[in-house]
Chains A and B, each alone.
Chain A
């Protein structure tokens, strides 16, 4: 049993739900600062992996090899969309590798944007 493309549909649905949650939170909190903080705390595990890998702090532990694994698993809901990137490389790394890093701030921003929009409208 295999439904080609179902993973992509679910991934898009995840992003739609994320924006809806962002709108809902913006209406309830009416506080962009707090919503920004929620977005950062929500993506904190991913952020810690990204910072550790970029600064090579992960090499201080015996788990260095697993940090990038964990970052990829952390991003599981949007992995289908990342997999649509072309199979090129940049500086010896595949393009999706960089996307894993970028997804942390992008997801946080996606959740935060409705708060900013609501503030502008008010």
Chain B
């Protein structure tokens, strides 16, 4: 009954050229309000949330993934195990120290997300080109890590969307697939419980151990 009434109201709006253009702005503000209400802990409390980081960077004129030259020192990836997390970044990145994240799947390959490749397995050594680099190990059993890696690999070819919310499993960014892979194994790598997740969040997690770090 309610569904029918909603459809009737919606129909009236859609057929009226006067009100039609107000539908999406109206829905936008309703949804924005719901998101803000549901995440008030981020609005009032947390200065480390992704949205605050973006806003701060924007005010400094930093809006992209940063830029710079790779540091000359060579990094060994020999100690990495499947399930480890690799972070890379450039100075002036808008969303924190790191702009990119991948989950190591073995054989010098990493599963990561790019807009023009979707979720895909790529060679690990391209992380050498980042001036900021961090290798993280999730404190979990081998079985849990293998399941996390299997989950991530099962989503190859799926869509990358840079501002993908943490909810849902149809679009991803490089951090969300890693967070979700471990979240489903009972390990939450985002202590802020943010709406989005950025590579930076993994480093702040008490569930990980830093294996290696270079940069600022």
Contacts and interface: CB of A to CB of B under 8 A. Distances in A.
Partners in one complex: yes
Contacts of A82: 159
A31 interface: no
Interface residues of B, number: 32
Given A2-B168, A17-B24, A72-B162, A87 B157 contact: yes
- In this complex, the member of B10, B118, B156 whose beta carbon has the largest number of chain A beta carbons within 10 angstroms is B118
Given A72-B161, A87-B156, A87-B157, A24 B17 contact: yes
Contacts of B137: none
Interface in B29-72: 34-35, 38, 64-65
A77 to B, nearest CB: 8
A79 interface: yes
A80 B170 contact: yes
B171 A94 contact: no
A89 B157 contact: yes
B118 to A, nearest CB: 4
Contact of A1 (B23, B34, B116, B156): B34
A100 to B, nearest CB: 9
B158 interface: yes
A interface, size bucket: 20 to 34
A13 B38 CA distance: 25
A95 to B, nearest CB: 8
B167 interface: yes
A66 B116 contact: no
A10 B10 CA distance: 12
Contacts of A72: 115, 160-162
Contacts of B116: 68, 93, 97
Interface in A54-92: 65-66, 68-69, 72-73, 77, 79-80, 82-85, 87-89, 92
Interface in B147-195: 155-163, 167-168, 170-171
Given A73-B162, A94-B159, 19 more contacts: A1-B34, A1-B35, A13-B23, A14-B24, A17-B14, A17-B24, A20-B15, A20-B17, A72-B161, A77-B24, A80-B170, A82-B159, A83-B171, A92-B117, A93-B116, A93-B117, A94-B120, A95-B157, A97-B116
16 contacts: A7-B168, A17-B14, A17-B23, A21-B20, A72-B161, A79-B161, A79-B171, A82-B159, A83-B170, A87-B118, A89-B118, A93-B117, A94-B120, A94-B157, A94-B159, A97-B116
